Amino acid sequence: MDTPRDPSAIDAMPTQRLPASASLRRHASRIAHVSRRALRVTHRTLVALIERMGGGNATGSRAWLIRGMFALNALLLVMAALVPAVYGLSKIAPLGRPSGQQSATGPQQSATPSGTPDPHTLGWTGTLHDAVATAYINDLIARMSLDEEVGQMLVTDFIGTDVTPELAAKIQQYHIGGAILYNRNYYSADSLHTLTTHMQADAKIPLFIAVDQEGGTVDRMSIIDGSRPSAEWLGNHNDPAYVRQVGAADGQSMYSLGVNVNLAPVVDVQNVPDSQTYMAWRMFGWTPDKVTTMAGAYLDGLQSQHVIGTLKHFPGLGSIGGDPHDFRVTLNRSLGDLDHIDWAPYRALLSTGNVGMIMTTHVVVPAVDPSRPTTVSNPVTTGILRDKLGFQGVIITDDIYMNSLMSWSYSLADRVIGAVQAGDDLIASVFTMDATIRAAQILHNAVTNGTISKARIDDSVRRILLLKLQYGMLKMPTAAQG
């Protein structure tokens, strides 16, 4: 996603404004009501059973059984009280959200309030919080139209430094889930802050707003923060604490200016010299351990400032010579090498529970699926990344207009439907207004004609919205609202 493309205009389709989803304000009170009603029924049943067993005159095993029943009923009552209470807490930390200090400048996006515990540190409370968050997101999805759902799966980019009528229509009418910004979209900190503020003001569901901030040759924030060191330089410097500081500095700057996703760090393991790869200077090292250590340190620093990091480019570009922006590329590695080298950093970083987003790229992996590139390959994207490596977060595609994908003569429908069938959640990026309209219509029609199930769309939207909730972009209703 390092080179912006300007794809050819695609025939426009009719535009229509889509209905808004219903309010969720009574969700917390409804859970409390249902919980209390269920417990009253349970209590009446226990009382009737105890009376049949002899009530207070029971002795021996019957007495112990009665005491056990009362203890179970008491436990259920406590749990019923806690579920709506946790659901309604207005200041509870989002799932897995790192605590940290909010920037003193820029838009006041939600940070974890000082002194508020992460529920995951409380053991079973974290599990309960996760269940309530999932229930909230499921309720939200149930109230969304199909067009609102498929819009969440689309990511755009654009020309301009403010919200044009076309960009506003993408956000308001087609409900896009996010946007990728390039240097053409801002010229100062103030202009970036203004742009992101205006974009979010137009969004019903807050947007992912992303940049590619790797440092070195892919340094989107240099116009604001000056040049950052490349991944290769950081790897050679071999100081994880310093790399974490770089990640935190990038994250603090982005967060203060309204950017909430960084399409970095790169976790490709270098296998060819810089002179033979377009990925020169962009990789942390030549061994899985070095890449894991340095990428993990950068990710920790970045996400401590409430910016989502993105591991890329799965399944790996470390041994690729050609540029996938220009050519069809193939990852000619044995399954053993892929598993022990290219995929080792993913496995290690996923084990930390700290990875929310991964980017797939358009490389062919003959050892797994020789017939199609990863972006549209279910055996690679779902079979390896989801099933083998266990990633259940958000998967975003690399640019669907790169020649490594376009060279297969795939239509827009082939690319969009193929990506979803492969297991991708976010499709990046629909550049023109025409492409946005067509991509939304393609997904809508694919569901209505049975090519893609509604449950499959729900799965992607659930992952997207849970990640937005985790990082404070979405808010659960407060007790007062309920």
pLDDT tens, position by position, 255-294 = 999 999 999 999 999 999 999 998 999 999 999 999 999 9
In a domain, 120, yes or no: no
65 and 194 part of one domain = no
Which of 52, 67, 88 is the C-terminal boundary of a domain? 88
Asked, for residue 412, whether it belongs to a domain, the answer is yes
Query: Residue 449, exposed/middle/buried by CB under 10 A (0-12, 13-18, 19+)?
Result: exposed
Do 250 and 360 lie in one domain? The reply is: yes
Q: Do 284 and 384 fall within a single domain? A: yes
Residues 166 and 67 in one domain: no
Q: Quick one: pLDDT at residue 127?
A: 76
Q: State the total domains in the chain.
A: 2
75 and 209 both lie in a single domain: no
On whether both 67 and 165 belong to a single domain, the answer is no
pLDDT of residue 97: 35
H or E element in which residue 308 lies? strand 308-314
Reduce the DSSP state of residue 323 to 3 states and report it.
Answer: coil
Domain termination residue (choose one: 59, 88, 117): 88
- Residue 80: CB partners within 8 Å, gap ≥ 6? 35, 36, 38, 39
DSSP designation for 425: S
List Cβ neighbours of 470 (8 Å cut-off, separation of 6 or more): 94, 95, 96, 97, 356
Please check whether residue 138 lies inside any domain of the structure: no
Tokens coding 449:
């004609």
Residue 342 shares a structural domain with residue 430: yes
Q: Within a domain: residue 442?
A: yes
Residue span of the structural domain in which 440 resides: 145-470
In a domain, 100, yes or no: no
Q: Are residues 313 and 425 in the same domain?
A: yes
Q: In this structure, is residue 109 part of a structural domain?
A: no
Residues 6+ apart with CB under 8 A from 248: 301, 302, 304, 305
Tell me, what's the pLDDT at 322?
85
Chosen domain end from 66, 88, 110: 88
455 and 307 inside one domain: yes
In a domain, 150, yes or no: yes
> Looking at residue 114, what is its pLDDT?
35
263 contacts 1 by C-beta, under 8 angstroms: yes
At residue 160, what is the residue type? Answer: G
Determine the pLDDT at residue 109: 42
Rounded Cα distance between 243 and 249, Å, is 10
Residues 212 and 329 in one domain: yes
- For 373: left if phi > 0, alpha if psi spans -120 to 50, otherwise beta; the answer is beta
In which residue ranges of the chain is pLDDT below 50? 5-59, 61, 77-78, 80-81, 83-117, 119
Q: Are 416 and 321 within one domain?
A: yes
The answer to whether residue 255 is domain-embedded is: yes
Q: What is the CATH number of the domain that holds 268?
A: 3.20.20.300
Given this model, what pLDDT does residue 423 score? 98
Residues 267 and 170 in one domain: yes
Radius of gyration of the chain (CA): 25
Tens digit of each residue's pLDDT (9 = 90 or more) over 140-181: 999 999 999 999 999 999 999 999 999 999 999 999 999 999
